[in-house]
Structure 1
């Protein structure tokens, strides 16, 4: 049997975790399907042949499989042998459930807030500037406010990043914690964008030609921003998920947005989700969206125009999702919070 080579991949470690949990391949498959369904992941077949191929190293698990494995075994990707850890990445799962107070403890909410704060620090590095600290404090404050504490003030959070970087999943994570409105560009505008492109004589899945960039994209982002302000005007904070590549490299655009919000008593935070090219391609291939066809067909041309090593200077905080590290940690944090509060 041919073994696939991935940097840092140790298939035997996955088998060791399964056996440490006392699971057969069939039982592990059953639990993996349940975990995937519970967390809204694309439910894998997860039969014993598939799990066996993962443990033997003949098939490298796809992104949803890896996330489900991490949730099932309460570990992250390096701990399960899927890859080598990033510099400074903690491989052990911290904040284990047994170390946290039970739900009847009056300090439960504070414990949950501490878990949230620790997670945000880990995915972005230690807070090093006022904007970074401000967003972290606002997220924790939103958590407390949902539980009867804190004082409300709307905030607009821009979450940008290249296609497949994990910005949508991280935005959902922030929304889960804070209760802020989650507005995804594709969900809001895709149907209209595709119909408009057709009416203009173009390809409905075009996201790279001058027709899309000049005639359609500006309207797409205008719809997203105006929807955000409809929420903000009534005091509802909003998280916007979209690439924002052209916008965030323009300091004037960010300044205009910040001034517009400040005039209405609204705070602004800009988050950039950083990811490596290989992981972005894996996510793009996995979701199989028609709008990504050109990117995949012309991958080298597409990535040659990306700067995956640095963040826009306008970003207040950079989330390091190289090799899926941040999203894996977000999944673990969700699990921890659920166990604290139930």
Structure 2
């Protein structure tokens, strides 16, 4: 599909470096940036494992996709920063993501971030988020539920955030077709993106 707008999914397990990468990209381009934590943290900042949160998680993502769809319909490119490790195994979910893009005449672009298990654990320990306590207490169970590199059945680009450099350039070339020479330069006050939240998520 040839398009001047994109629906960009930046995905990967918590701690894979996707938020660090996503924010580096968003500082360079005039795209809408959506992070699942913006919606979830006001209600469940300290857990992603409680029965209450698990019961409401589908509604949180429904709200996130609704915001994405409305922005795409307005002609905006949307970068959605969320793990999506569990749903990436479901063909129906991929159909939903493709529909959101197609309905707005946008091109779906998928970026998966990953790193080694040792680096993943160190990043999660270093950021010291309360919502990560359960992951660290049952590390093997966490990795069974959210493998670092589950198969992705659609065209995508892989980013090793542990060893690769200029990863934002790599993603922008993938999304925009290779030539960045005419990409508008974003100028702003240089404040924090989103105001809250940690890197390496």
In the superposition, the TM-score normalised over structure 2's length comes to 0.74
**2:124 is the alignment partner of 1:284:** yes
**2:103 is the alignment partner of 1:252:** no
Q: Is the strand fraction higher in 1 or 2?
A: 2
Q: Which residue of 2 aligns with 1:226?
A: 66
**2:156 is the alignment partner of 1:316:** yes
Determine the C-alpha separation between the residues in 1 that align with 2:98 and 2:70.
16
Determine the C-alpha separation between the residues in 1 that align with 2:111 and 2:169.
21
Determine the C-alpha separation between the residues in 1 that align with 2:105 and 2:73.
10
State the 4+ residue runs in structure 1 displaced beyond 3 angstroms: 328-333
Determine the C-alpha separation between the residues in 1 that align with 2:100 and 2:81.
19
Aligned length, in residue pairs = 172
Determine the C-alpha separation between the residues in 1 that align with 2:74 and 2:63.
17
Determine the C-alpha separation between the residues in 2 that align with 1:315 and 1:205.
34
Mapping for residues 170-209 of structure 1, pairs under 5 Å: 170-192=21-43, 194=44, 205-209=46-50
Mapping for residues 6-21 of structure 1, pairs under 5 Å: none
CA displacement at 1:209 relative to structure 2: 4.3
Q: Which residue of 2 aligns with 1:27?
A: none
Relative contact order: is structure 1 or structure 2 higher (C-alpha 8 Å, sep ≥ 6)? 2
Answer yes or no: is the 8 Å Cα contact 2:6–2:78 preserved in 1: yes
Select which of 142, 150, 166 maps to 2:17. Answer: 166
Structure 1, unpaired ranges of 5+: 1-133, 139-151, 195-203, 334-340
Cα deviation digits, residues 91-122 of structure 1 (max 9, x gap): xxxxxxxxxxxxxxxxxxxxxxxxxxxxxxxx
Change (3 A) 1:303 1:191: same
Change (3 A) 1:287 1:315: farther
Select which of 268, 287, 299 maps to 2:108. Answer: 268
Please identify the structure whose Cα radius of gyration is greater.
Answer: 1
Structure 2, unpaired ranges of 5+: 171-184, 186-201
Q: Which residue of 2 aligns with 1:154?
A: 5
RMSD of aligned alpha carbons: 2.7
In the superposition, the TM-score normalised over structure 1's length comes to 0.45
